[in-house]
């Protein structure tokens, strides 16, 4: 069973269950109002004062981002504001961080990073431009949320300020990409960024604009007028046609019974002795219909939502289950038909495009999960196109060469289609096919020549699509040894190794954020200077400053 020292975390929510956000939609403009319920913490023992947040607050925000994209395509501009007087957001709740396990802190930072990246993608790809209206103190994770939006408007009132005070106050780093976005996204000069990140009180007024920390400041008397002008100008420039109708995202069906987690189209079985979670993916039962008519039941959308929830559940609630093994069953021709409809639909229809973008985000979450990822391709598998991306994301994959004794099904096959060549880029901007063949780009061209053709184990191995192609005699032993060997290694070493190996090729703002989170924040969150008995995070709010070991490491 999951570790019960912390409650089981459920990532499913809906507007009627929100405790911390208010979503108001007026025509093409959505207001996302942060009004955190102080007593609504995900865990007992702390209050969420001053619009500070924990994972529960961000679970609701992530739901808002996705819900706006699917249920409200008419929205062209999203404004993040505060429902509190004189404070925008105090950032991540310090007492929550103080009480939380190390694993929870790191998972919390990873999830909030993924949510902020989804905000940036919504602005870039979905025509829903996010802006932040800062009135009051905007500190730490609150400013990091603002940094994820396209435009920051701040009141010039002597009180409103932006800050990243984690280093001087807590001896940790901003956990959701603040340092990287300062210098990479907003191009703040390094010396100014250094001062800003070591100043508790932050920066306000004209200096905040001059230093690129915000985009504009206006007097409080003109604040609402300027915000209205800004949002209307964004709406006027939006190229989306009027009259778009969204689809509902009802509660995600999930049943947990013992060590089995079941969704439509996906089942996860946990083997605690081997520290293994086996994902069984079910292919579509019929040819693709119309997602506008089928709604959330449309196979590609339903599977993406289930897959995403299963990964989040395992990340947060099953930290000792270190290996994820992926299998599939179904007709690869039907998967290919759904992919063909998706590829064609994305060019002309917003909903098809959002389904493709959701799969892009889900697959990125798979890339970023600190678990060993294995795939087994067997007779009856349907790893084609979108589902083949799961195999390509894995650290190792096995594909059975030939038939199994007593099995009348045809040998295993995988099928490439156009979606494998750029539709689902990784955080480094490369397709998983291109990332596999950095030394031999000609292999990508060779794979392109096989588009739409079922490839047996030998052909898949030759094209670099799978790692090993054992026959029936060796299959069970090779897979068993791989799984058992993985469980014998240090989880810490595996996390560092996997993160390093998965992101070859170019560096981007996204890979920098996650790479530094995995390395620096993971390390700093365990250092005595931050979390020791006399560390800054432990002493915060006591009136005592942290007592630091002054040796540089």
CATH code of the domain in which 145 resides: 3.90.226.10
Looking at the predicted structure, is the pLDDT value of residue 99 above 60? yes
Domain boundary, last residue among 474, 493, 512: 493
Phi and psi at residue 176, to the nearest 5°:
-125, 50
In the chain, count H helices and then E strands.
23, 16
pLDDT at residue 2 greater than cutoff 70: no
Both 232 and 264 in a single domain?
no
Residue 209 and residue 354 share a domain: no
What one-character-per-residue DSSP string does 30-95 give?
EEEEE---TT--SSSS---GGG-B-HHHHHHHHHHHHHHHHH-TT--EEEEEESSTTEEE--B-HH
Position 5 pLDDT exceeds 60:
no
Do 406 and 351 lie in a common domain?
yes
For range 82-109, the mean pLDDT: 94
Asked if residue 270 is part of any domain, the answer here is yes
3: pLDDT confidence band, cut at 50, 70 and 90?
very low
Please report whether residue 406 resides in a domain. Answer: yes
pLDDT digit string, tens, across residues 396-446: 999 999 999 889 999 999 999 999 999 999 999 999 999 999 999 999 999
Q: Is residue 500 part of a domain?
A: no
Which residue, 471, 493, 515, sits at the end of a domain?
Answer: 493
As a whole number of angstroms, the distance between CA 29 and CA 359 comes to 26
How far, in Å, CA of 130 to CA of 65, rounded?
10
CA separation for the pair 493, 484 (Å, rounded):
16
What sign results for the dihedral spanned by CA atoms 296, 299, 302, 305?
A: negative
Q: pLDDT confidence of 552, banded at 50, 70, 90? A: confident
Of residues 113, 135, 122, 121, the one with CA closest to residue 30: 122
Domain that holds residue 399: 255-493
Do 285 and 190 lie in a common domain? no
Check whether residue 319 and residue 453 sit in a common domain: yes
Angle, CA of 20, 25 and 30, to the nearest 5°:
75
The pLDDT tens digits for 499-546 are 899 989 999 999 999 988 878 888 898 999 999 999 999 999 899 999
């Amino acid at each position: 069973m999951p570790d019960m020292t912390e409650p089981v975390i459920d990532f499913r929510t809906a507007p009627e269950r929100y405790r911390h956000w208010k979503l108001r939609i007026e025509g093409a403009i959505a207001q996302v109002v942060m009004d955190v319920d102080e007593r609504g913490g995900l865990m007992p023992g702390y209050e969420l004062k001053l619009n500070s947040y924990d994972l529960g607050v961000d679970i609701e925000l992530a739901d808002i981002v996705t819900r706006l994209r699917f249920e409200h395509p008419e929205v062209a501009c999203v404004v993040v504001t505060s429902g509190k007087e004189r404070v925008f957001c105090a950032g991540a709740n310090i007492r929550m961080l103080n009480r939380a396990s190390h694993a929870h802190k790191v998972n919390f930072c990873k999830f909030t990073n993924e949510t902020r990246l989804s905000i940036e993608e919504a602005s870039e790809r979905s025509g829903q431009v996010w802006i932040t209206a800062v009135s009051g103190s905007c500190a730490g994770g609150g400013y990091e949320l603002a940094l994820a939006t396209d435009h920051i408007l701040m009141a010039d009132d002597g009180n409103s300020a932006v800050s990243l005070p984690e280093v001087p106050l807590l001896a940790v780093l901003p956990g959701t990409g603040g340092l990287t976005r300062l210098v990479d996204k907003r191009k703040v000069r390094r010396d100014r960024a250094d001062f800003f990140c070591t100043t508790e009180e932050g920066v306000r007024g004209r200096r905040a604009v001059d230093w690129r920390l915000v985009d504009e400041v206006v007097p409080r008397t003109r604040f609402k007028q300027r915000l209205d002008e800004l949002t209307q100008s964004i709406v006027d420039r939006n190229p989306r046609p009027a009259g778009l109708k969204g689809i509902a995202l009802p509660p995600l069906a999930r049943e947990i019974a013992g060590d089995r987690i079941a969704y439509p189209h996906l089942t996860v079985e946990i083997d605690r002795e081997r520290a293994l979670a086996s994902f069984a993916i079910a292919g579509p039962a019929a040819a693709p219909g119309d997602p506008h008519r089928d709604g959330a039941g449309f196979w590609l959308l339903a599977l993406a939502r289930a897959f995403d929830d299963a990964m989040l559940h395992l990340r947060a609630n099953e930290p000792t289950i270190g290996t994820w093994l992926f299998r599939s069953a179904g007709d690869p021709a039907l998967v290919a038909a759904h992919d063909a409809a998706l590829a064609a639909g994305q060019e002309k229809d917003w909903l098809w495009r959002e389904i493709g973008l959701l799969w892009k985000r889900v697959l990125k979450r798979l890339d970023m999960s600190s678990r060993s990822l294995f795939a087994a391709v067997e007779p009856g598998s349907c790893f084609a196109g979108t589902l083949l991306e799961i195999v390509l994301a894995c650290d190792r994959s096995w594909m059975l060469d030939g038939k199994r004794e007593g099995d009348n099904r045809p040998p295993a096959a995988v099928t490439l289609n156009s979606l494998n060549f750029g539709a689902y880029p990784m955080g480094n901007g490369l397709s998983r096919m291109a990332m596999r063949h950095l030394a031999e780009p000609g292999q990508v061209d060779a794979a392109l020549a096989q588009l739409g053709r079922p490839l047996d184990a030998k052909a898949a191995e030759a094209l670099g699509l799978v790692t090993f192609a054992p026959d029936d005699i060796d299959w069970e032993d090779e897979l068993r040894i791989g799984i058992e060997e993985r469980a014998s290694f240090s989880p810490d070493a595996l996390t560092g190794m996997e993160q390093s190996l998965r992101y070859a090729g170019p560096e981007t703002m996204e890979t920098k954020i996650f790479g530094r989170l995995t390395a620096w924040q993971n390390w700093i969150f365990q250092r005595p200077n931050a979390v020791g008995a006399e560390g800054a995070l432990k002493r915060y709010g006591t009136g005592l400053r942290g007592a630091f070991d002054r040796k540089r490491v």
